[in-house]
Structures are given as C-alpha cells and as structure tokens.
Structure 1
Amino acid sequence: MTTDSGVGPGGSGSGGDVTDAEELPAGWVRATLGELGVEVQPGFASGKHNRDGKGILHLRPMNITRNGVLDTLDARYVVDNSDRRVELGDVLFNNTNSPALVGKTAWVDSVEPLAYSNHMTRLRGPEGLDGKFLAAQLHHMWATGYFKSILNNHVNQASVSRKALLDTVIVVPPLAEQHRIVAKLDDQLVFIGAGEGSLGIADAKGGHFLQAVLHDALRGKLAPEDLSEGDAQVLVRDSVALDRGPWDIPDGWRWATIGKLFKVAVGSTPSRGNSAYWGGDVPWVSSGEVSFARISSTRESITVDSITSPEARIHPPGTVMIAMIGEGRTRGQAAILDIPAAHNQNCASIRVSETAILPEFVYYFLMARYEETRREASGGNQPALNKGKVENLEIPIPPLGTQRNIVARVQGLEEDLRGLREAVTDGWARASKLRNALLHAAFTGALMPQDPDDEPASVLLDRIRAQRSAEVRPARRKRASRMTAPTAPQASGRPIPSGTQEALPL
C-alpha cells in the first residue's frame, strides 16, 4: 500500500519523473491506479470502418496526438450497437502501438459518446480524482519514458498490460488543488500550443512549395533548361510500358508500374528469442527509420544466419525503401539506402540500384505521391500497404538526362529549405522542453501553492478502502465429499454458457 511518503510499484527509479520525488507536498499521496479503484475497460476491434459518417465515430491510436489531445480530423466510423463507449470526462489510454507511442493519453472532451478500438483503454476514476488531471499526468509519464520501460514487445508492436497499468503509481493532490492545477495548465499550454502551431505552418509552407515543384517535375512542366539537357534514351521497354497513366507526360517519357521495372521485396524480423540472431554485421532497417532521408546507419543489426527467407536479403546501396505500416506519418514514407542492409516486414525494398534509372528519381516520385499512397492503404486499426500495392504504383519515367536535371533541381530546393526546417525543429524542441518543465512542476507541487484547508488526498484513499471493505463477498462453494458421487446438474431453464458444455456430463 502506498502512502504520503512511500513509493509503490513504478515509483522511484521507474523511469518517470512524476513519481520519483522523495517527498510529496502536504496533503498529497502516491497510489496505484488499482488502489484508487480506476476502472479499466478496453475497446473493440473493427475491420469495417467507413468515412461516410455511418454509425459511430471509432477512435484509434492516431486520434491521440503527441500532445495528449483528441484529434478526430482523420475520422473513421463503424456500425456498432454495443455499449463500449467513452464519454465526456473519461480518460483514453493507448495500450498498443509502436514502442515509442504506447502510453499516449487524452482526456475525452466530446459531448457525444464515442466508440474506441481494442488498442485503446478507457479509464474512469473515482470521485475525488479529476479525469483531466489523471490524463495529463499519464501522458506526461509517457513523454518522460515511463510506459516504454514497462511495455511488452511483440513482433510488430508493443503493449502495456492491464496489470501493469493498474500497478502504475501516480501522485494525487487534494481534489481542490487538482482543479487549480488543471486550470493553470489549460492557461499556459494554450501559449505553447500556439507557438507550435506557428512552427507547423512555417514547416508546411516549405513542404507545400517542394510538393509543387515535384508536381511540375513529374509532368515535364519545369523550365526548359531543367528538362532539355542530357541523354534522351528511352529506358522503359515496350513490353512493360503502359498505354497511358494518371496524367499526361511529354513525348519520350513512358509509363510503367514499379513491379514491372524493379524487384520489390518485403523483409522479416528474426526471432527476438534467439540472441544469436542479433548484434551481427548486417544493418537492419525498421519501418520507423524510413522517413524521407538517406539511411547511412541503423539502430539494430542482425547476423547473416538470421536471414532465412529468399526475399529477406541484404540489399545494396541505392535501394529505395518504402514504409508499409505505421501510425501517424510513417506509412508511405520513403528512404534510400547508403549502406547494404536488410529490413523488417513492415517496409518494402525497391531494387532501383540494379537498373539504369536513378534511385533518387524514384525516391522523389514516392515523395510526390506520399499522401495518395497513404490513402491506398487498407485494414482496420492499423491500415497498411502491401507488396502488391507497391508493385502496382504507376510511375512516369523520363529520359536519363531529364531525371538527372529533375533530381538536381529538387536537391537544390531541399538544401534551401534545410535552414528553415532546422529552425523549426529547434523551435519544437524548445516548446517540448517548456511543456515538460510545466508538467513536471504540476505533478511535483511546484506549479501552484498548497492550501492547508484542502481536504487531504489520503481521505480519498481511506474512503475507497472503506468502500471495498464494505463490499459483500460471495460465499465460497463447498467442495463435495470425496465419498459422495457427483450429482448431475439440474436444469435451470437458462442457456448453458459457451465454453462450459463440454465439461457437463451427458
């Protein structure tokens, strides 16, 4: 049992600064979510989403932002008659995602009840625990790495179990102080959010300009000096060329599909249970590392012996990668290998390096159609591309000299935009530090002064313990005597629950 001065599971040394303090302000307590009687309820999966507004809005992991706010801009609906809903004042916790994103939490501000996926958990606290205070604290614990320290890793994703969540320790001030902290956070976070919004607008304008240049380049509409120089050789054979494509292209250009021009392959993940497969000489790319850049190093490496699938091989420099799955902005992003590397099954490799076509041109083509590629993904809670969808992408191929000029023009523009993006990135980093400092102050008692007249939070714990003690426990079933023959169950007129019929005597 945790107390004002004690540290329970996930407390000191757990990786989150919310519960690491040696002492708490007067009237505060530490307690696990389980001790507080927080209700934990998972959502439901659905592979039948629609964007037409039919049914009820179904929240998924991407609907919780990295700032802990519900965002329903990407709204998906399901037809569902269950009562599995979140309501105004509930807390929504992302229990399953990539390791870096598990634990995102948001306070539900929707007046209308909403459905939510099985990758989300609804939390409802007792009277005396402000839901908005709880959501902000859990999200801050995510931001400071606590949930990453307790998650379970799976092949394609990670999760926090119900038990680990209930064992999570939070700090609880008096209820009146919780309200004051939440109000202060609301006031201050508005200014930080406004600054982040301005940075996002500046970054978006640079990105839109780059996209406009790519749009014209892939249609042969750049200035003549950018397109007329170089080799006019046609690089696409008649046998693989398409009669037409999604838009008009100049004479001498040809349409084809990615799969007809290049070898496309998916990778694999060696068994995590076999330590001999990891830490070898082969760089190993995960989908999260595919982010519109050149890949010259990777976070993990594997051994040659771990590569057993014919397609899961070591790809040479110049291979273009595309991420096929991933929350947020990951899916559909591309990269170019600068090193020989293998990769996991969540991204595909395009062996451009073995053709006369420039890898950079294919990379910029994927950059230009990024949003369209994302929309072509299918699936339920985690929409994904697949090998077939990548192979069927239609790409215009200009003569080699024109490719070189397009690549040079876009690379020059990227260089001009790099300074802007560095300034934006620095601004976001400063905003993140300011946000974390504000939240740290909130959950260590430094944001607002304490009021000695507030009812201590220990009273809340005492009330919860008393309520639990008063609960009537069901009587235990008496074990039948070993000398007595078992009695056949009597018909009750009720249906036998599924899964018990095999245990009944015939």
Structure 2
Amino acid sequence: MPSGLPMLSAKNIKARKISFDEYRLISQDAFDHEDKRTSITPGDVLLTIVGAIGRTAIALDSHQKFTLQRSVAVLKPDAIASKYLSYLLESPEAQSFFEKNAKGTAQKGIYLKTLGGMKVPVAPVAEQARIAQALDGLLAQVDTLKARLDTLPALIKHFRESVLETATSGKLTENWRKNYGNREWKSIAVGELCRLKSGIAASIDLEHHEGSHKYFKVGEMNLKGNELYLHETGRYLSLDDFSEKALLPAGSIVFPKRGGAIATNKKRILKEESFVDLNVMGLIVPTGVEVLYVYRWLETIDLAKLNTGTAIPQINNSDIAPLIIPLPPSDEQYEIVRRVEQLFVFADQLEARLADARQRVDALTQSILAKAFRGELVPQDPNDEPASVLLERIAAQRAAEPKPKRGRKTAAH
C-alpha cells in the first residue's frame, strides 16, 4: 500500500466540492512544509487559480487532513461568510475578472497579489446568509437538471446502437419485407463480398497542397465536414509519383488499421477516388451492393476487438475478411439505409436540443449568480447591520493586532 499524506491540486476542486478520488501522496516532512503555507482549516474557501481558473469549494470538518499545490488558493474569509464568498467567486463578474487578469502562455494563472486587489460586493452579514441559503436551493435544482441532462448522451448512443442492431438483423424492415415475399437474406464473409485494400506510404516531400488526387491520413477523419464522407484534406499526391493501382475508388469504406486510432472506431466513406495512408484499410464495395448498408453494418463492429497487435495495435486483412455480414436483397438494403438515416436524423435533432438545453442551463446558473450579487435575489432588511460598519470593525481589529517583528538583516560578506 502506498504511504504518505494527500496533496491535492486544481483537478480535485470540482462542482463546489473537494474530491479525494485521485491525489498525490507526500512524506510527512514535505507535508509539514506545505502545510505551513496553506494551513487549511474548516471554512476556508479554496479557489483554483491555474488552468481551469475560478472553481471553488469549502474546506469542511469532515475532510481528512490535506494540503494543496499552488494551483489552488486558500482564502480565509473575515467579513464574508464562506458560502457567500464561494458563490461570489463563481459569479459572472468574478469570472470576468479572472479571464481579464490571467497571465501565462501554455497555462494561464492568477497571481495572489492580483487576486488580493479584486473588489467584491459585501452584503450585511444577515443578508449574506439569506443569499447563500437561496443559492443553495436554486443551484441544487439547477444541478439536478444538469445531472438529468448528463444521462441523455448515453441514451441517445444506445438508441443509435439499437437502430443499427435492428437494421442489420432484419427487424427494422420485418413488416416491409412481408409485402415483398419475405425474400431470404444471405450471410457472406466480408472477404467474399468486398475487396480489402491497404493504403500507401508517402513521404512528406511527395505531398502537395493541391492536385487531382486527394490523400487521406487517419487524422483527416477528425476534420469538421468529414464525419461521414471523407472529402476535406490539405494533402494531394500525383500519379507521376504513385501508381493508379494504389487509388481507392469513390465509395470505399476506410478505417484505421494501425495504432491507437483503432480504438476510436472511426469509419468513413471516400467521396471520390483517392489515395489513403498505409495506416488505413479500405473495403471496396462491389457494384450492386448499397455502400451505406455495408457502412452501417460496419458501425456495429468494434474494431478494438479485432486488434491482433501486441506493442502496437494492428488490424490485418485476415482479421476483417472472415467477418460475416448479413446481406438482404438490394431493394431492402436501400430501404434499411433510408430508415436508418431517418432515425439518425431524429437522434441528431435530439443531440442538438440537448446541446441547446445545456447552454441554457449554464446560462441560468450565471444569471442566478449575477442576480444574487446585484442584490436582487433576496429581500433586503433595513434592520441588518450595514456592511460598512462590519468592514470598519474588521479594519479596527486588524489595526490593533501586533505587527510581526522583522528580523535584523545581517551584513553580506
């Protein structure tokens, strides 16, 4: 068992909570050294100040002893209640301050001195409690809504998988088939139905920025516009350098055959006759067979399970060729493709609505926080002690505190 004491970082501060799921362990001596700097006590507000700036959490009595890396600031409120401060730092005004004042290139951060100069609205103590209580209730409802929305991508993914399963098993067109004499499907190996062809290795000095024949690598599968058909690329090869026999015809279904990209399960269709990289394999679908039907069937295949590589994942022709594809008559292939596309359009619409709903919920959180710190969320009580009085009392207390003695400087020799 690993030993040591926990040192957390910015990644442990999320959803206004401190996560102990994963952290670094340090020795007792190292912990004591860091603890002098952080000195975390219950009620302290933790603020991420490097990378994902502006996430907060409050240290609680129930938390185990821990220290923090410098990516998290420890704020010890005097005039402000911990919950009030935590919410305030997540408000649009505070987030805007962080965005404007963050410094750095690879990873931006907020300096503690900059953070110390940040002006914040301070409500009377009693009103701070009312605001925090109101935000607890409202944002809990928002969080519940977010959690429900977070379950929907998995449901939509399952819906797509179910569509493909029913499509390639014959269930999707079962009633349609009854009107056409219940013609039987065939089961045929991929290697018997399609021609398998791998790509070519082309050195970068033979690539061009324009030309008559496009050249696709695995990376092009990630480009916007290439989600189904491959047509966007900045690479071209010339027939002066490569044989015409190396071309894959339009309608070929291509996918990664080597490396970690296999696990992404990306499959694409060539929009036009093209060259592909050596790390790509193509299925050349024969005339008379609906390319999109074969493509949708291939979507049901997990390429990662076909991997026969050891150190480097790899798929060979011998891994693909024996796979059995259920093949309906050509008119039913077309009908299956039509129905699948129709259902997938519906799934696309659901995903678009989900994305819009998430944006609205995120905007709702910021709207509630903005309203709270404009003084519009809860009623104000004229009997509350004014915040100015509170601030004056704290200033007086700080002025009365003994100043730390400064050590005498020794002369340099």
- TM-score when normalising by structure 1: 0.48
Q: Matched residue of 2:152: which SS?
A: helix
Q: Distance in 2 between matches of 1:403 and 1:62?
A: 46
Counterpart in 2 of 1:279? none
The 5 A counterparts of 1:180-199 are 180-199=130-149
Q: CA 1:95/1:225 → structure 2, altered by over 3 Å: closer, same or farther?
A: farther
AA at the equivalent of 2:47: F
Q: What is the DSSP-based 3-state SS (H/G/I as helix, E as strand, rest coil) of the residue aligned with 1:129? A: coil
Inter-partner Cα distance in structure 2 for 1:212 and 1:468: 67
Q: CA deviation at 1:129?
A: 1.1
Aligned to 2:224: 295
- Tell me by how many angstroms 1:154 deviates: 1.8
What is the Cα deviation at residue 204 of structure 1?
A: 2.3
Contact 1:357 1:400 in 2 (8 A): no
Find the counterpart in structure 2 of residue 269 from structure 1: none
Q: Judge conservation of contact 2:121–2:373 (CA < 8 Å) in 1.
A: yes
Q: TM-score, normalised by structure 2?
A: 0.58
CA deviation map 1:231-277 (0-9, x unaligned):
5445579xxxxxxxxxxxxxxxxxxxxxxx989x9xxxxxxxxxxxx
Q: Which of the numbers 101, 112, 115 marks the counterpart of 1:162? A: 112
User: Which residue pairs with 2:176 in the alignment?
Assistant: none
Which of 70, 92, 107 aligns to 2:46? It is: 92
Q: Does 1:76 align with 2:23?
A: yes
Q: Is the 8 A contact 2:92 2:369 kept in 1?
A: no
Secondary structure of the structure 2 residue equivalent to 1:159:
coil
Q: Is the 8 A contact 1:87 1:112 kept in 2?
A: no
The match for 1:435 is 365
The reply on whether 1:469 has 2:389 as its aligned counterpart is no
Question: Which of 48, 59, 67 is matched with 2:8 structurally?
Answer: 59
Q: Distance in 2 between matches of 1:394 and 1:172?
A: 61
Change in CA separation of 1:334 and 1:58 when aligned onto 2, cut-off 3 Å: farther
Deviations 1:140-163 (A, max 9, x none): 2488533111111322x2111112
8 Å Cα contact 2:189/2:321 also seen in 1? no
Q: Is the 8 A contact 1:210 1:414 kept in 2?
A: yes
Report the Cα distance in structure 2 between the residues aligned to 1:333 and 1:231, rounded to whole angstroms: 25
Distance 2:303 2:11 in 1: 23
- DSSP-derived class of the 1:96 partner: coil
1:121 is aligned with what amino acid?
A
Deviation at 1:368, TM superposition (A): 8.1
How far is the alpha carbon of 1:86 from its aligned partner? 4.0
Q: 2-side partners of 1:455 and 1:151: how far apart? A: 35
Matched with 2:87 is 136
Contact 2:197–2:282 under 8 Å retained in 1: no
Q: Which residue of 2 aligns with 1:148?
A: 99
What does 1:107-256 correspond to in 2, within 5 Å?
107-109=58-60, 111-113=62-64, 114-126=66-78, 128-141=79-92, 144-155=95-106, 157-208=107-158, 228=189, 232-233=194-195, 235=197
TM-superposition CA deviations, 1:102-156 (whole Å, max 9, x none): 2222233461233333322222112x3111111111112488533111111322x
Cα displacement (A) at 1:477: 5.3
Distance apart, 1:69 and its partner CA: 1.9
Instruction: Using the TM superposition, give the Cα deviation of residue 293 of structure 1 relative to its aligned residue in structure 2, in angstroms.
Output: 5.8
Aligned partners of 1:352 and 1:95: how far apart in 2? Answer: 45
Task: Quote how far apart the aligned CAs of 1:57 are.
Answer: 4.7
Deviation at 1:430, TM superposition (A): 2.0
Rounded to whole Å, the distance in 1 between the matches of 2:24 and 2:59 is 17
**Where in structure 1 do 4 or more consecutive aligned residues deviate above 6 Å?**
211-214, 221-227, 317-320, 332-337, 400-405
CA contact (8 A) 2:7 2:69 kept: yes
* Structure 1: gaps spanning 5 or more residues: 1-51, 238-260, 266-289, 298-313, 325-331, 338-350, 370-390, 480-485, 487-502
State the 1:180 CA deviation.
0.8
Distance 2:396 2:19 in 1: 40
Q: Percent identity?
A: 23
Deviations along 1:297-340, one digit per CA (max 9) or x if unpaired, are 9xxxxxxxxxxxxxxxx9749999xxx9xxxxxxx989999xxx
Contact 1:102 1:142 in 2 (8 A): no
In the other structure, the counterpart of 1:392 is 312
User: Helix, strand or coil for the counterpart of 1:425?
Assistant: helix
- Contact preservation (8 Å) 2:92, 2:366: no
Structure number having the greater helix percentage = 2
SS of the equivalent of 1:102 reads coil
SS where residue 430 of structure 1 aligns?
helix
The Cα RMSD (Å) is 5.1
Paired letter, 1:295: K
Establish whether residue 102 from structure 1 lines up as the match of residue 53 from structure 2. Answer: yes
Q: Structure 2 CA distance, aligned partners of 1:417 and 1:73?
A: 37
**Distance in 2 (alpha carbons) for counterparts of 1:109 and 1:89:** 6
Q: Measured at CA, do residues 88 and 233 of structure 1 come closer, stay the same or move farther in structure 2, by a change above 3 Å? A: farther
Stretches of structure 2 lacking an aligned partner (at least 5 in a row)? 171-184, 205-218, 227-232, 237-253, 269-274, 284-294, 305-310, 327-335
CA contact (8 A) 2:54 2:95 kept: no
Take 1:226 and 1:460, find their aligned partners in 2: how far apart are those partners?
Answer: 81
Q: What is the CA-CA distance between 1:184 and the residue it aligns to?
A: 0.7
CA distance in 1, matches of 2:130, 2:196: 70
What is the CA distance between 1:71 and its match in structure 2? 5.8
Letter in structure 2 aligned against 1:177: E
